[in-house]
C-alpha cells in the first residue's frame, strides 16, 4: 500500500507494478461505491452492479508490497533509514486522511464511523488493529497488516546488520508461509466462512499476530522480487502463492481461493514478463501515483458525495460524481502529504539521525582510553 521506489536490477523503474497498484486501488473504490455503500445506508437504492470482487485489490497490494519493500530494504545502510523511509512515506498522507475522516464522519453523523476521542487518538498510530481498537475509517485495517510486515523486515535488518542474504529471505518467506498454513488449518473449524468481525477474539488475535492469511502474499512478493532481479521464475514463489490460495479456502471459501489464485497468477505473470504495455499507459500510471492517497480517502468522501447527491441525480450518476471527487481529493492529499510533507518529515528524521550519530561519536571520543 505504502509506496516505495520500484526499481529493477537494471536501474529502470518497474512501472508495471505502479500500474497494478493503480488498478488495485480502483477495484477497491468500485467495491465500496457499489455494494459496500449500502452497508451503512441499507435504505438507499442499490447501484446497477455490485463490484464485490474489487475488495480483493487489497491482496494485490500485499503482493506488491512484498516485492517493492524487500527491494527497497536491501538497499539501505542502517536500519534507521528503513524506519525513516516508512514513517515519512506513510504517515503524512495517513494523518491527513484521518482528519478528513473525522470531519466527514462528524459532519453528517456517518454510520459505522467511531469518533470517540480515545478511538481517534489510537488511530493516530496506524496500528490500532493490533489492540482490537476500531478503525475510524474501515480501510485502515490493511495499514496495520502492512506495518507488521515492516516490523518483521526491520527486525531482520537489525539481526543481519543490513546484510540480508537471498538465502535468509527465502528461508524466512517459506517458513512464515508454512506457519500461516498451519494456523489456518488449526482455526478452520471455527473461522471458515466467517467475516473477521465474527471470529472469536482469541482466534482473531492468533490470526492477527501471525498474519496467517496474508503472510504467504507478502512472501510471494518478496520471493518474486529476487526472481525478477535474477531474470528467472521462482518455484518458491509458486509454492507460497499456492499456500495463499489454500489459506483463502481454509479461512473463507472456494470462491475466495479461486480469486486469490487469479490475483497471484496475474502478479507473477507481470513480474515474469519483460513489459506489459497496458499497465504503463498514462492514466493507469497516474492512478498508481495517487493510489495510496486514493485508498486512504475514497470511502468516506465517496459515501458523503453519494449520500448527498443520489436523490437528485440518481444512484449511478452519484457514484460517478463520487469517483471524480475522490480522485481530486486523492491528488490533493498526494501532493500535500506524499510529496511535500513526506519530504519534510524525511529530512527532519535524517537530521535527527545525523545529530544522534554525531553525539554518539563525541561520546565515544570523550571516553577515557584505558591504560
- Judge whether residue 10 has pLDDT over 50: no
pLDDT in tens, 13-63: 789 999 999 999 999 999 999 999 999 999 999 999 999 999 999 999 999
Distance CA 302, CA 288 (A): 19
Query: CB of 224 within 8 A of CB of 234?
Result: yes
Q: In the prediction, which pLDDT does 9 show?
A: 43
Q: What's the rounded mean pLDDT across residues 349-360? A: 84
pLDDT (tens digit, 9 = 90+) per residue, 332-342? 999 999 999 99
Predicted model pTM = 0.92
Confidence of residue 355 (pLDDT cuts 50, 70, 90): confident
pLDDT surpassing 90 at residue 304: yes
The C-alpha torsion from 78 through 80 and 81 to 84, rounded to 10°, is 180
Look at residue 224 in the predicted model and tell me its pLDDT. 96
Q: Which string of b and e fits 60-84 if b means at least 16 CB within 10 Å?
A: bbbbbbbbbbbbbbbeeeebbbbbb
pLDDT of res. 5: 45
Residue 368 has a pLDDT of 62
Residue 87's pLDDT is 94
* Contact between residue 97 and residue 334 where contact means Cβ atoms under 8 Å apart: no
Single out the residue of 343, 299, 344 nearest to residue 323, CA to CA: 299
pLDDT of residue 292: 97
Report the alpha-carbon distance of residue 183 to residue 212 in Å, rounded: 6
Q: Count of H helices and E strands in the chain?
A: 13, 0
Query: From residue 128, how far is each of 123, 171, 213 by CA, in Å?
Result: 6, 30, 19
CA angle 56, 142, 315 (to 5 degrees): 55
Residues 6+ apart with CB under 8 A from 248: 213, 256, 257, 259, 260
Q: What's the average model confidence in pLDDT over 185-208?
A: 85
The reported pLDDT for the residue numbered 371 is: 54
Beta bridge partners of 13: 7
Segment 221-248 mean pLDDT? 93
Residue 344: other Cβ atoms inside 10 A: 12
DSSP class of 134: P
Please report the DSSP string for 40-81 in residue order. T-TTSPPPSS--GGGGGHHHHHHHHHHHHHHHHHTT-SSHHH
Quick: pLDDT tens for 70-108. Answer: 988 888 888 889 999 999 999 999 999 999 999 998 888
Contact predicate 6/13, CB 8 Å: yes
In DSSP terms, 7 is beta-bridged to 13
Q: How confident is the model at residue 370 (pLDDT cuts 50, 70, 90)?
A: low
Percent of the chain with pLDDT over 70: 95
Amino acid at each position: 500500500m505504502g509506496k516505495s521506489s520500484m526499481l529493477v536490477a537494471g536501474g529502470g523503474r518497474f512501472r508495471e507494478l505502479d500500474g497494478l497498484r493503480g488498478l488495485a486501488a480502483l477495484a477497491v473504490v468500485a467495491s465500496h461505491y457499489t455494494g459496500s455503500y449500502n452497508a451503512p445506508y441499507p435504505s438507499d437504492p442499490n447501484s446497477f452492479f455490485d463490484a464485490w470482487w474489487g475488495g480483493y485489490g487489497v491482496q494485490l497490494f500485499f503482493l506488491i508490497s512484498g516485492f517493492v519493500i524487500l527491494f527497497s530494504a536491501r538497499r539501505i545502510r542502517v536500519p534507521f533509514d528503513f524506519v525513516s523511509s516508512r514513517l515519512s512515506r506513510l504517515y503524512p498522507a495517513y494523518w491527513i486522511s484521518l482528519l478528513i475522516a473525522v470531519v466527514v464522519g462528524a459532519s453528517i453523523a456517518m454510520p459505522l464511523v467511531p469518533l470517540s476521542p480515545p478511538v481517534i487518538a489510537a488511530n493516530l498510530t496506524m496500528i490500532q488493529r493490533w489492540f482490537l481498537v476500531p478503525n475510524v475509517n474501515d480501510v485502515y485495517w490493511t495499514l496495520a497488516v502492512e506495518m507488521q510486515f515492516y516490523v518483521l523486515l526491520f527486525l531482520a535488518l537489525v539481526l543481519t546488520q543490513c546484510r540480508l542474504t537471498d538465502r535468509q529471505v527465502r528461508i524466512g518467506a517459506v517458513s512464515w508461509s508454512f506457519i500461516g498454513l498451519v494456523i489456518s488449518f488449526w482455526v478452520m473449524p471455527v473461522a471458515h466462512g466467517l467475516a473477521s468481525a465474527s471470529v472469536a477474539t482469541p482466534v482473531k488475535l492468533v490470526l492477527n499476530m501471525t498474519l496467517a492469511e496474508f503472510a504467504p502474499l507478502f512472501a510471494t512478493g518478496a520471493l518474486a522480487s529476487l526472481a525478477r532481479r535474477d531474470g528467472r521464475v521462482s518455484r518458491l514463489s509458486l509454492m507460497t502463492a499456492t499456500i495463499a490460495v489454500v489459506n483463502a479456502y481454509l479461512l473463507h471459501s472456494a470462491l475466495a481461493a479461486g480469486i486469490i489464485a487469479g490475483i497471484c497468477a496475474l502478479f507473477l505473470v507481470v513480474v515474469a514478463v519483460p513489459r506489459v504495455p497496458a499497465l504503463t499507459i498514462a492514466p493507469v500510471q497516474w492512478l498508481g501515483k495517487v493510489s495510496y492517497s486514493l485508498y486512504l480517502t475514497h470511502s468516506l468522501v465517496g459515501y458523503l458525495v453519494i449520500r448527498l447527491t443520489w436523490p437528485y441525480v440518481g444512484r449511478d450518476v452519484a457514484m460517478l460524481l463520487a469517483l471524480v471527487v475522490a480522485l481530486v481529493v486523492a491528488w490533493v492529499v498526494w501532493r500535500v502529504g506524499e510529496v511535500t510533507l513526506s519530504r519534510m518529515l524525511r529530512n527532519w528524521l535524517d537530521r535527527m539521525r545525523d545529530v544522534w550519530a554525531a553525539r554518539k561519536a563525541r561520546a565515544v571520543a570523550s571516553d577515557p582510553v584505558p591504560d
